[in-house]
Amino acid sequence: MKSCIIPAFTLAAILLTGGSAAIAQSVSQSAPEETPATESAAETDPMQIVRGAKAWNETCSRCHNLRSPSELTDEEWDVSVTHMRVRGNLPASDVRDILAFLQASNNQ
Amino acid sequence: MTCAKYRSVALATVALIGLPALAQETQEQSPPDPQTAALLERIEQLEAELADLRGVVLQSTETASKAEAAAQDAVDRIAEVQDQASPAPSYAVSPGMPDTKWHLAGYADVGFVGGDTPGPDSFVSGKFNPALHFQYKDFLLFEGEFEYATTGDGKTESELEYSQIDLVLNDHAVLVVGKYLSPIGQFQERLHPSWINKVQGAPAGFGHDGVQPTSDTGVQLRGSIPAGSTRLTYALAVGNGPRTTSEGGVELMGMGSDDNSNKSVGGRVGFFPMPALEVGGSYLTARVDGIMNPDMPVPSGSGLPLDARFQLWGVDAAYTKGPLAARFEYLKSERGKLFTVTDEEPDGVLLPDLEMEAWYGQLSYRLSGFSDSEIIHRLEPVVRYGEFSISGHPELEEENAQNRLNAGLNYWLAPTIVAKAGLEWRDYTVPGVPDETLIQFQLGYGF
């Protein structure tokens, strides 16, 4: 009955402990990677918006129609894109590019 | 030359040279004419006005300097207070964004179902699924979704579809903890909302009481890994796992607690051979316990299987390019022999091996390039065919095993608002079970 307990809990423990450690590490070290460069996308990397438009078209339309960028505010896009990053297992680089494009295109 | 001539020449020379000078001196000493006098007076007035203006400008410059100094003092003070109150963390991004952001999303649908079915034609209230997302900075997201629906007898059903916290670990990994939609396959996790689903309902076997797990409660590690010019996606999960139902089937939804100490282990790996094509493979394994009758416990050493191995695997593929979307999914599950109590066998019964298998293929095409007509541009024909088979559980098989064909036409009022009209033919595979033909209309809105 419990033959799978040990491997299952081992995996869960690895995920939880490894995850917690990685969280701390990511916050302190790799967090700059998370910077979605929206603050000055056009200034620091003008091509980011172009890449974002391409990734937006390719990635989002895999599951659903493309929402207009003007549907949401900058803050709402920030949250919505994070949600879709998790749901769609999107690469972080694509997520940053898509967010920069949406926030630059929503006229808000 | 004579003296008279010399005198004449000298006088002429003096006259030629001296007369103009004499004339000039005469002019300077004479009073100005009225026009010149007026101009001189005007010049004097302008000089006076200019002097006044110089005075005003000097006063304004002094005032502006004082205001600028005051403003700079205020800016310095604000910066000082901000520094003392909350020094900006290194990972704070998106200047101007608050630490906590949120977004209300979700979807709703309404509709009508009629046709050659055992029940009467009915309007259906459909579902209302509000979803809330709260994000802290850029590394934590809480997301939860409810589903509300009205039953046939007027009661309101509610269910927590998912409630999870997502921790962004790095560019390639997210830790998900809580109740989450099953990562097995594509339909349940990504395609089931009514504004995304091209057909009114789920494919046979991919909804409730099917082979597709709907949710689980546990922990997931998921993300994306670069692989050359493409990437791999992964979702590895450990959860409470499935549970035996009182009808002798297997419940594949997220339970708030586990009924045994065995956890399910599974997930999905996806791959993109080309940008428009995604293929994936899914697997889940767990043990399920039989339901025991506390009044009549099974004696130990009886040799009856009090738990059984449950395994599920599947493959999926999706090709989406422009107006075309082609999808395919296959799932198969197996559960071993199991002794359990059921509603019909309160003293317990030895259930045989249970196998369930389901697949579907779906093709849709948006007619956006066919005509300049705005109406035709918004149309999208769709066809889906699928099969669901069950062995080892006659009641479940009689109720659910079928071949199902859907044909429909969608009209997109907006990118997230769709009106669907379709026909569904249900060919039940158990002899004696009458087939059904459904006419379905649905209006779905994603927000």
Segment 163-182 of chain B within 8 Å of chain A by CB: 166-176
In 3D space, the residue among B192, B135, B133, B187 whose CA is nearest the CA of residue B163 turns out to be B133
For the CA atoms of chain B, what is the radius of gyration? Answer: 43
- Residues of B (51-90) whose Cβ lies below 8 Å from A: 90
Amino acid at B103: H
- By the 8 A CB rule, do B382 and B402 touch? no
Q: What is the mean pLDDT of residues A84-93?
A: 96
ipTM summary value: 0.76
Given A19, A79, A87, which is nearest B101 (Cβ)? Answer: A79
Cα–Cα distance for residue pair A86/B214, rounded to 1 Å: 17
Q: Tell the burial category of B288 from Cβ atoms under 10 Å away from its Cβ (0-12, 13-18, 19+).
A: buried
pLDDT digits (tens, 9 = 90+) for B267-295: 999 999 999 999 999 999 999 999 888 77
Contact yes or no for B424/B430 (Cβ under 8 A)? no
* pLDDT band of B5, cuts 50, 70, 90: low
- How many A/B residue pairs have CB atoms within 8 Å? 177
Q: In a mutagenesis test of the A interface, which of B102, B141, B169, B324 is the best target, namely the one with the most A β-carbons within 10 Å? A: B169
- Check whether B9 has a pLDDT greater than 90: no
Angle between helix axes A92-105 and A74-88 (nearest 10 degrees) is 150
Per-residue pLDDT, averaged over A68-85, amounts to 95
Mean pLDDT of chain B: 87
Handedness of CA A41, A42, A45, A46 (dihedral sign): positive
Burial grade of A91 (CB within 10 A; 0-12, 13-18, 19 or more): buried
Of B170, B261, B285, nearest to A2 by CB-CB distance is B261
Q: What is the distance in angstroms between the Cα of B174 and the nearest Cα belonging to chain A?
A: 7
Report helix, strand and coil shares of chain A as percent, to nearest 5. 75, 0, 25
Does A107 lie at the interface with B, CB-CB under 8 angstroms?
Answer: no
Q: Is A6 on the interface with B (CB under 8 A)?
A: no
Tell me how close the Cα of A108 comes to any Cα of chain B, in angstroms. Answer: 13
pLDDT per residue as tens digits for the range A46-76 = 899 999 999 999 999 999 999 999 999 999 9
CA nearest to A78 within chain B: B101
* Amino acid at position B305, single letter: P
Task: Name residue, tokens 């990397």.
Answer: A45
- Residue B119's pLDDT band (boundaries 50, 70, 90)? confident
**Residues 6 or more apart in contact with residue B156 via CB below 8 angstroms:** B148, B149, B150
Higher pLDDT, B24 or B179: B179
Q: Say which residue the tokens 């802290």 belong to.
A: B136
A92-105 and A47-60 are packed helices; what angle lies between their axes, rounded to 10 degrees? 110
B299-327 per-position pLDDT tens digit = 677 788 989 999 999 999 999 999 999 99
Q: Choose the weakest-confidence range: A31-45, B115-129, B196-210, B277-291.
A: A31-45
What is the C-alpha to C-alpha distance for residues B183 and B214, in angstroms, rounded to an integer?
9
Check pLDDT > 60 for residue B372: yes
- Residue of A65, A72, A74, A77 to mutate when probing chain B, most B C-beta within 10 A: A65
Task: Give residue-wise pLDDT tens across range B41-99.
Answer: 888 888 888 888 888 878 877 777 776 776 676 556 555 544 544 443 334 456 678 99
Q: Characterize the bridge pairing of strands B402-414 and B417-428.
A: antiparallel
A12 at interface of B, judged by CB pairs closer than 8 A: yes
pLDDT of B263 strictly over 70: yes
Residues 3-62 of B with CB under 8 A from A: none
- Cα A99 to its chain centre, rounded Å, is 8
For chain B, say whether A86 makes contact (Cβ under 8 Å).
Answer: yes
Q: How far is CA B352 from CA B164, B249, B337, B344, B389, in A?
A: 36, 11, 5, 16, 16
State how far the Cα of B245 lies from the Cα of B351, in Å rounded to an integer. 12
Between B426 and B369, residue with greater pLDDT = B426
Kindly state the average pLDDT of the residues B96-121: 92
For residue B287, which residues of chain A lie inside 8 Å, CB to CB? 1-4
pTM of model > 0.80 = no
What is the Rg, in whole angstroms, of the alpha carbon atoms belonging to chain A? 18
